[in-house]
Chain A
């Protein structure tokens, strides 16, 4: 009842997963499209620069080749271009495919077996072949594929890395936003959580977004109905007490007066039977009223259980002793009248089944009250049975057998419990009914 209510984590998690999933999918699509575009544009630009480089190198290469023929066979090739020096190689080949000249860092083997004009791609290179001098010579400009991939990777990482970083960031943002968006729901849940039998105030609609209006109104309607029915139950319990007790009291008192008169034997017998029956009716009514009271008690902070014990003990006269331990925890959460009902039941139980000697009410240690009576030890299996409704102890008692179960009901309603012990704590024999309250 008391635990703080928060948005179910599943709701936030669901929203965060959905939003993050959407971000991931759109990031992947954007990334792929970007990658494809960059690759296309990069290839186009690099091919263009290869073609341009071939055009620029060709005259130089032809000139160098002719001069070389006059001097020596050592090839001293001009540079492909200042800019592309590091990345572009070239070979000048004759129409038979022989490599006549090559850039200084290019491999000695031909780039390709066959010579095809224009652009081509091998496993290792992107090639551009330009025919020279009426197709007797060819210049082949090559760029390693690996290098192209590197360029592509560098260009792509410029936007893929931020895009990848954006995914967890968007997850975090989604989480923050979802929590923020669910804040009214949190508040509403907390406010509903504060409602209980004693607080059924309607929830104000204007504090929440319009989307929650229907929920708030539904909860308010439900609480209004609950309040009405609780009120009428409380009223019934209180009215029933008067409406039932007074006529029963009248009937019992009249029967007693009848029995006090000289009567014929059969009339006296019948009057005695009526009296017995009325007494039983009165006891059962009493227990039903107690149950109704217990169900409708307000759960209040009670600051002195020992005072209630003393007040109830006074109702029964002098053979009930109340002892208050130093280590008693006196503040518990229970309605004073309901605690009194529980105590009366335990005292009546002790009076009915004890040996007729003194009854002790012990307050403490901790938040507990015990009612102890002297008498023979109750076997453990009977102790278990005793708390069940309509089970009586030894046959000498005359109770309705519902008392202990009323006390147990009361204790479970206030978050505590009833324990039965025999022998009583610190005694050789006797019976102890111990009420353990939830500490406040």
Chain B
């Protein structure tokens, strides 16, 4: 998943980037509002993690602009402001969740999963496809109660596919979701990960539409 992190603190930002990348997300890191605007104008993000006190302005201002321009990407505010008024103001500005610093990285992951679930209209984090069970919250996959080990890249592709059942996902879109700016992408990278995924969860689940992309088949 492609994530935009807006955070001016180098040490915290570095750890959050590292953590999200380890979970298979592609993270672009903006240190201020201007930079964040530039990123948002050129890349399709599936999530924004937004600090409020930024060197070139308030995070809420960016959020307002995004919501007013019809941008519906999920936003999680991560801030040092812990007061109820701040929280209500942040949520009223259009944020989907509000996390107060300091926080455990696992907590951030759980909040991200919950927000995405809400967007996908799935009340439970568990998805069932016959004997295949995918838990997007716990990031686990099992077939007939047998746990399947996935790498973070494999997981990221699977997560994208199940989020859009029976829809064609272009290869380009999967690349955008998996790689941040500046990452080197080999031309056949996606194909490699998809074939590895098929080997682990079964061939028929992911359909290839040559020239278009991939589709998560749900009967």
* Chain A residues engaging chain B, CB cutoff 8 angstroms: 241-242, 244-254, 256-257, 260, 282, 289, 293, 308, 311-312, 315, 336-337, 339-340
Report the separation of the CA atoms of residues A254 and B106 in the bound assembly, to the nearest whole angstrom.
13
Q: Mark B59-85, 1 if CB is under 8 A from A, else 0.
A: 000000000000000000000111111
Query: Smallest CB-CB separation from B9: which chain A residue?
Result: A246
Report the separation of the CA atoms of residues A208 and B28 in the bound assembly, to the nearest whole angstrom.
65
- Given A337-B85, A340-B84, A245 and B15 contact (CB-CB distance below 8 Å): no
Contact between B102 and A308, CB atoms less than 8 A apart:
no
Q: What size tier do the contact residues of chain B reach?
A: 20 to 34
Give min CB distance, A143 to chain B, whole Å.
99
List the one stretch of B16-24, B180-188, B209-217 in contact with chain A. B16-24
Contact between A312 and B84, CB atoms less than 8 A apart:
yes
Give min CB distance, A243 to chain B, whole Å.
8
CB-CB under 8 A from B18, the residues of chain A are 257
Contact between A311 and B101, CB atoms less than 8 A apart:
no
Contact between B84 and A256, CB atoms less than 8 A apart:
no
Contact of A242 among B11, B19, B81 (CB under 8 A): B81
Contact between A257 and B102, CB atoms less than 8 A apart:
no
Give 20 A-B contacts (CB < 8 Å), ordered by A residue. Answer: A242-B53, A242-B80, A247-B9, A248-B101, A248-B102, A249-B102, A250-B9, A250-B10, A250-B15, A253-B11, A253-B105, A254-B15, A256-B106, A257-B19, A260-B22, A293-B83, A311-B84, A315-B87, A337-B85, A339-B84
Contact of B80 among A246, A256, A315, A337 (CB under 8 A): A246
Contact between A254 and B22, CB atoms less than 8 A apart:
no
Give min CB distance, A255 to chain B, whole Å.
8
Contact between A253 and B12, CB atoms less than 8 A apart:
yes
**B18, B83, B87, B100 pick with most chain A CB within 10 angstroms:** B83
Contact between B87 and A245, CB atoms less than 8 A apart:
no
Report the separation of the CA atoms of residues A242 and B80 in the bound assembly, to the nearest whole angstrom.
5
Report the separation of the CA atoms of residues A116 and B58 in the bound assembly, to the nearest whole angstrom.
120
Report the separation of the CA atoms of residues A242 and B104 in the bound assembly, to the nearest whole angstrom.
17
CB-CB under 8 A from A260, the residues of chain B are 19, 22
Contact between A257 and B87, CB atoms less than 8 A apart:
no
Report the separation of the CA atoms of residues A315 and B97 in the bound assembly, to the nearest whole angstrom.
9
Give min CB distance, A361 to chain B, whole Å.
14
CB-CB under 8 A from A337, the residues of chain B are 83-85
Please tell me if B119 contacts chain A, counting CB pairs below 8 Å. Answer: no
Please tell me if B218 contacts chain A, counting CB pairs below 8 Å. Answer: no
Contact between B19 and A253, CB atoms less than 8 A apart:
yes
Contact of A250 among B11, B19, B85, B87 (CB under 8 A): B11
CB-CB under 8 A from B88, the residues of chain A are 311
Contact of A241 among B9, B80, B85 (CB under 8 A): B80
Please tell me if B129 contacts chain A, counting CB pairs below 8 Å. Answer: no
CB-CB under 8 A from B22, the residues of chain A are 260
Contact of A246 among B12, B104, B105 (CB under 8 A): B12
Contact between B105 and A257, CB atoms less than 8 A apart:
yes
- A interface, over-half SS: helix
Query: Smallest CB-CB separation from B14: which chain A residue?
Result: A254
Contact between A257 and B15, CB atoms less than 8 A apart:
yes
CB-CB under 8 A from B14, the residues of chain A are 254
Contact between B87 and A256, CB atoms less than 8 A apart:
no
Contact of B102 among A252, A293, A311, A336 (CB under 8 A): A252
Report the separation of the CA atoms of residues A308 and B88 in the bound assembly, to the nearest whole angstrom.
10
- Given A241-B81, A308-B84, A256 and B101 contact (CB-CB distance below 8 Å): no
Contact between A249 and B81, CB atoms less than 8 A apart:
no
Contact of B12 among A250, A282, A312, A336 (CB under 8 A): A250
CB-CB under 8 A from B87, the residues of chain A are 311, 315
Query: Smallest CB-CB separation from B105: which chain A residue?
Result: A256
Query: Smallest CB-CB separation from A245: which chain B residue?
Result: B80
Report the separation of the CA atoms of residues A340 and B86 in the bound assembly, to the nearest whole angstrom.
12
- Given A241-B81, A246-B80, A256 and B12 contact (CB-CB distance below 8 Å): no
Query: Smallest CB-CB separation from A343: which chain B residue?
Result: B84
Give min CB distance, A348 to chain B, whole Å.
13
Report the separation of the CA atoms of residues A379 and B163 in the bound assembly, to the nearest whole angstrom.
52
Give min CB distance, B103 to chain A, whole Å.
7
Query: Smallest CB-CB separation from A242: which chain B residue?
Result: B80
Report the separation of the CA atoms of residues A260 and B20 in the bound assembly, to the nearest whole angstrom.
12
Give min CB distance, A247 to chain B, whole Å.
7
Report the separation of the CA atoms of residues A200 and B109 in the bound assembly, to the nearest whole angstrom.
46
A-B pairs with lowest CB-CB distance, top 4: A253-B15, A250-B11, A249-B102, A340-B84
CB-CB under 8 A from A308, the residues of chain B are 84
Report the separation of the CA atoms of residues A249 and B14 in the bound assembly, to the nearest whole angstrom.
12
CB-CB under 8 A from B11, the residues of chain A are 247, 250-251, 253-254
**A244, A253, A336, A339 pick with most chain B CB within 10 angstroms:** A253
Tell me the B88-113 residues at the A interface (CB within 8 Å): 88, 100-106
CB-CB under 8 A from B84, the residues of chain A are 308, 311-312, 336-337, 339-340
Contact between A252 and B104, CB atoms less than 8 A apart:
yes
Query: Smallest CB-CB separation from A237: which chain B residue?
Result: B83
Give min CB distance, B190 to chain A, whole Å.
26
Query: Smallest CB-CB separation from A340: which chain B residue?
Result: B84
Contact of B85 among A242, A247, A256, A336 (CB under 8 A): A336
CB-CB under 8 A from B19, the residues of chain A are 253, 256-257, 260
- Given A241-B82, A248-B101, A256 and B15 contact (CB-CB distance below 8 Å): yes
Report the separation of the CA atoms of residues A257 and B22 in the bound assembly, to the nearest whole angstrom.
10
**B12, B22, B85, B104 pick with most chain A CB within 10 angstroms:** B12
Report the separation of the CA atoms of residues A247 and B13 in the bound assembly, to the nearest whole angstrom.
11
Report the separation of the CA atoms of residues A253 and B11 in the bound assembly, to the nearest whole angstrom.
8
Report the separation of the CA atoms of residues A244 and B100 in the bound assembly, to the nearest whole angstrom.
12
CB-CB under 8 A from A251, the residues of chain B are 11
Give min CB distance, B60 to chain A, whole Å.
15
Report the separation of the CA atoms of residues A339 and B85 in the bound assembly, to the nearest whole angstrom.
11
Report the separation of the CA atoms of residues A139 and B204 in the bound assembly, to the nearest whole angstrom.
163
